Structure 1
Amino acid sequence: MLLIIVALVALSVGRYPLSATTITRFLLHPLHLAPAVNATDQQVLFALRLPRVIAAAAIGAALAISGTAFQAIFNNPLVSPDLLGVSNGAAAGAALAIILGYHSAGIQLSAFIGGLVAVTAAITIQRLLRTRGSLTLVLAGIIISGFMQAIIGLLKYVADPDQQLPSITYWQLGSLEKVTLANLGLNLPALLIAGVVLYALRWRLNLLSLDSLEATTLGANLRLEQGIVILCATVLTASAVCLSGTIGWIGLVIPHAARLVAGQNNAKSLPLAAIFGAIFLLLLDSLARTVSAGEIPLGILTGFIGTPLFVWLLLKKRVTLA
């Protein structure tokens, strides 16, 4: 219910405010239960607000789900979706597409490929080291993430300072300003499929969070099931970055908030994290559009709000950092 209320508020607020009556008529008109709204209101809602609200809810849920999944399979409460360098890999892919002069669809496709390349490289490093431990994969992800950051720095150095550099910087800060029904349609299927698969596997996450020997004894195929979870979480993160650029903290903070309410059972905390993530990003995006004359990048807001919120959650849960 809270998610629905927040979504309706997000549809109504902005530089062109709309009344609750207008929102109700817009939503009920396709069902022939209300008269149509005027052309201006319909254009604002259908072309601008509705894609943005759907994207905010989907991206917030996707990042929260992937964070919950990563923290479960690595049994580490401080793991986030960019663990394997996915976010930086996607940002590097987007930056390369901007340098090459690609349009919106090309930038999104390049970002998606960059995220997949990053996670593939991290897994390859783990296999070359011939170890299966989660710590090795974490270290490989840190290596790849640092390498992708170096690539982004190089691309920013050679970028045109008047045209390309601002676009790359804006992409890294994160925003939903450029979301349309077209690019939403390109990425939403991947978000839905990966999210549904992780939702179906939410019961297995409890098993995968156990010691490897114990999980294997209980019948888990660790390599296969962990691979599916990592792939789906990577697809969720890369698809989210394709739509909004890099948005931090959601995948780290929201799973803790969900577990604070639902407990350590991933079967309950994962869907709750999706709802919390959607609400959180909808609120932040509404704030970004209304708090000042110019739109504030979401990466800035998540940093300012996510940091104290995470400290509070750590104090509340008494998470052991040792």
Structure 2
Amino acid sequence: MVKDRRKMLRNFYILSSLTLFVLIIAAICIGRYTIAPQDVLHALINPDSFSNQTIPVVVQEVRIPRVLLALVVGAGIAVSGAALQATFGNPLVSEHILGVSSGASFGAALGIITIGTTLGSQALAVLFAFIAMYLTYIIAKRRGRITVLMLVLSGIITSAVFESGVALIKYFADPKNELPAITFWLMGSLAGPSKETIIRTMPSILISIFVIYKYRWQLNLLSLDDEEATSLGVNVKRARIIIIFFTTVIVAAIVSIAGIISFVGLIVPHFTRMIVGTDNKHLVPASMIMGGVFMLITDTLARSLTGSEIPLSIISSLLGVPFFIYLLRRTGGILDD
């Protein structure tokens, strides 16, 4: 039994890694400007061999940075969803549950109409993401204790407040310039971030992913009752705060550069759980891989299906809603093995 499981996991990692590699090559080749795989290789090894520098520029300056961004964004959202689902013991929890995404959306929308610069909007998005997390924490704290139910309900309340704020900003925004910018940004896209923005944002996301990866052992215990987890040597409060903090960092950073991307943190971890099981030792790294796969597919479809780019949330929602309905009816909102 143990040998069969090890073989299954080994086959999964091999197959998923190969799939990811093929998708990376395909994502670099596919687009409104199609590039042959051999030209991609030549553009990387010997870009000066091209008389027309369009292909090397597209490959090196546009496609590769965007593919890397898609991989990190997909892995980050997926691992955040997996960590929060384990922490709260519920497969229907996602990275939006603490109000972080709504807070970041409010901050970015506020930045668009007040500061008007990309860096300013990103800074406000991160700031309000942490404000949302703090508000959720304060509302949930009752008599010095925080229960999972109170935390979830507080996240719903915080989300509603900031979503109302976003609606108010859109109401007062300039309908010719600011309103379209806010609306398109809220629907999610990987087209906007520059190389400098990606380089500036990547470290915080990667470090946070690494921390959650290191905590994957304790995530198994956090899915138990607090008393059980404590009796097994886990500082539940400390571990939960660390997980919530670093998932907030990931979501805030991603929302600040790419907007809202729906359903990735919900469906990817659960789909992965159906393959590798509930053990977070394997679920966390497997979710990273599958998150990268899902985001590469979504982003490639978004920028190649039509002449103009489709917002990511539209594609991810179309893929995610049917699975969400299936998941809800199958589990009833309860995490089981």
TM range (shorter): over 0.9
2:175 alignment partner, SS class: coil
1:169-222 superposed Cα distances (whole Å, 9 cap, x missing partner):
011111111122111011100110000000011111001111100100111111
Q: Which residue of 2 aligns with 1:92?
A: 106
2:74 alignment partner, SS class: helix
| Structure 2: distance between partners of 1:22 and 1:135 | 54
Q: Which residue of 2 aligns with 1:270?
A: 284
Quote the offset at 1:18 in angstroms: 0.7
Q: Which amino acid aligns with 1:78?
A: L
Please tell me whether the aligned partners of residues 105 and 260 of structure 2 are also in contact (alpha carbons under 8 angstroms).
Answer: yes
- After superposition, residues 1-322 of structure 1 pair within 5 angstroms as 1-29=18-46, 36-37=49-50, 38-128=52-142, 130-313=144-327, 318-321=330-333
2:90 alignment partner, SS class: coil
Quote the offset at 1:35 in angstroms: 6.5
| Structure 2: distance between partners of 1:214 and 1:114 | 35
List runs of 5+ in structure 1 lacking aligned partners: none
| Structure 1: distance between partners of 2:324 and 2:71 | 21
Aligned pair in 2 of structure 1 residues 35, 162: CA closer, same or farther (>3 Å)? closer
1:95-125 superposed Cα distances (whole Å, 9 cap, x missing partner):
0000113311111111111111111110111
**Identity of paired residues, percent?**
39
Q: Which amino acid aligns with 2:28?
A: L
The normalised TM-score by structure 1 is 0.94
Quote the offset at 1:319 in angstroms: 1.2
Quote the offset at 1:36 in angstroms: 4.9
1:82 alignment partner, SS class: coil
Q: Which amino acid aligns with 1:7?
A: I
Q: Which amino acid aligns with 1:145?
A: S
List runs of 5+ in structure 2 lacking aligned partners: 1-17
2:306 alignment partner, SS class: coil
Please tell me whether the aligned partners of residues 85 and 119 of structure 1 are also in contact (alpha carbons under 8 angstroms).
Answer: yes
Quote the offset at 1:258 in angstroms: 0.8
Please tell me whether the aligned partners of residues 140 and 154 of structure 2 are also in contact (alpha carbons under 8 angstroms).
Answer: yes
Please tell me whether the aligned partners of residues 52 and 180 of structure 1 are also in contact (alpha carbons under 8 angstroms).
Answer: no
Please tell me whether the aligned partners of residues 83 and 142 of structure 1 are also in contact (alpha carbons under 8 angstroms).
Answer: yes
Quote the offset at 1:165 in angstroms: 0.4
Which piece of structure 1 moves more, 64-73 or 123-132?
123-132
1:81 alignment partner, SS class: coil
